[in-house]
Structure formats: structure tokens, C-alpha cells
Chain A
Amino acid sequence: RKEVEQDPGPFNVPEGATVAFNCTYSNSASQSFFWYRQDCRKEPKLLMSVYSSGNEDGRFTAQLNRASQYISLLIRDSKLSDSATYLCVVGGGSSASKIIFGSGTRLSIRP
């Protein structure tokens, strides 16, 4: 079993749609959780950290369920510019802790 598993994708949705990504992780000792975005042939960039209380940043909402070891990302009112690969990332509690990437979910927004 992979340490971090994501929806296989790809997702192809119309502009304005709401799309949800799911992710599960196997290490119950994990302490930090993130969603990163990666554009084609570019480095990953932090989209948002994920907390048990849930957090929202504009059109993006992330949720963490520690009991189920499950992370989600919701994108509302999707834009063409949201087209990218979304990476679920799980790690330890410090800058010295290695992080584990999910395989990524590719999202394509069509006009």
C-alpha cells in the first residue's frame, strides 16, 4: 500500500464547476498535511496547509480527518487557471521531516 494515495484522475470539468479531491495516508503518526499544486514542467507550489478544523482560502477548502486518515480538497467555481496537478502531501512536524507525496490528481478545466 502506498503511504499517500490519491484519486487517480484525470478530472475534466467545465469552468465554474465544483470539484473535490480525496487523499488517504497510512502513517498515523503524520503531523503535517498539505495540498500542493504542480503545473506542467514546473516545481510544486504550496496551495494550502490542511488542519483538522478545516480551512478555507477563497474558492479552496481543505479538510483533514485524522481518525480516518483522510484529506480532502474542494475547489468551487473552478477557473481555467486551476488546471494543474494537485498533490496531496503528508509529513512530520518540522522542517527536517521528510514529506511524502501522493501520485497527484490531474485537473483540466474546459471553457
Chain B
Amino acid sequence: GAVVSQHPSWVICKSGTSVKIECRSLDFQATTMFWYRQFPKQSLMLMATSNEGSKATYEQGVEKDKFLINHASLTLSTLTVTSAHPEDSSFYICSAGRDSAIQYFGAGTRLSVL
């Protein structure tokens, strides 16, 4: 099956620093990728749709200046959490689809902001 790689899998940072998370489609090209956030015991919430070569589309309530998304190639999208604070601590997951509506997920990044 399609493989989506996400890095890093786990990061701890100090409050106020920025953290970049990478999402790569390893064996296919993805013009669209999705970023989700999941808090403990809750479901995945879509944060934004990452579009290759154009601006990301953010869901209501998600600050675009805080969660910077860059989709510079057909195999790579990055999410940067800028000036992270403890309330940003969460599980961030990306996904990409190949040639159908089925989404393949990265392994997720667990972010802890101290």
C-alpha cells in the first residue's frame, strides 16, 4: 500500500520555540495532503488542506499564522507550529491520498511544549 512518512515522531520543546513537522509521500505524488490534530481521547480534527504550489486552506478556528503549511513539492508538506505554547501540545498527523478517496496516514508527531 501507499506509504506516508512523518517526521519527527516525537518532539519536546520549550514554550515560544517553533517546531517543523514533515510529511512525505514515499511512493506516490500527492497534490493534496491534510493535517490533523488529535487531543487525548478525542477524534482527529482536520486543521488544514495542504495544496502543492498554492496556499493551504485552513479550517475554521485554526490560525494560519500560527500553523504555517508549506507544500513545495508533490511529495512533501511541512507544518510549522510557530511560537508553540503548552496548549499546542497534541498529536499531529498528516495524510495523503493517491488515486482514490482513501487516505494514508503518517505515523504522527507527538508534540509536548514545556
Contact = CB atoms under 8 A, between A and B. Distances in A.
Interface of A: 31-32, 34, 41-46, 49, 87, 91-104
A91 B101 contact: yes
A42 B60 CA distance: 26
What's the interface size class on B, roughly?
Answer: 20 to 34
Interface stretch (B12-20, B65-73, B90-98): B90-98
Nearest to B31: A96
Contact of B43 (A34, A91, A101): A101
Interface of B: 30-32, 34, 42-46, 49, 91, 93, 96-108, 110
Contact of A95 (B45, B46, B91, B101): B101
Given A49-B102, A87-B43, 20 more contacts: A31-B101, A43-B107, A44-B93, A44-B105, A45-B105, A46-B102, A46-B103, A87-B44, A93-B101, A94-B97, A95-B30, A96-B32, A96-B97, A97-B97, A97-B101, A98-B34, A101-B44, A101-B45, A103-B42, A103-B43
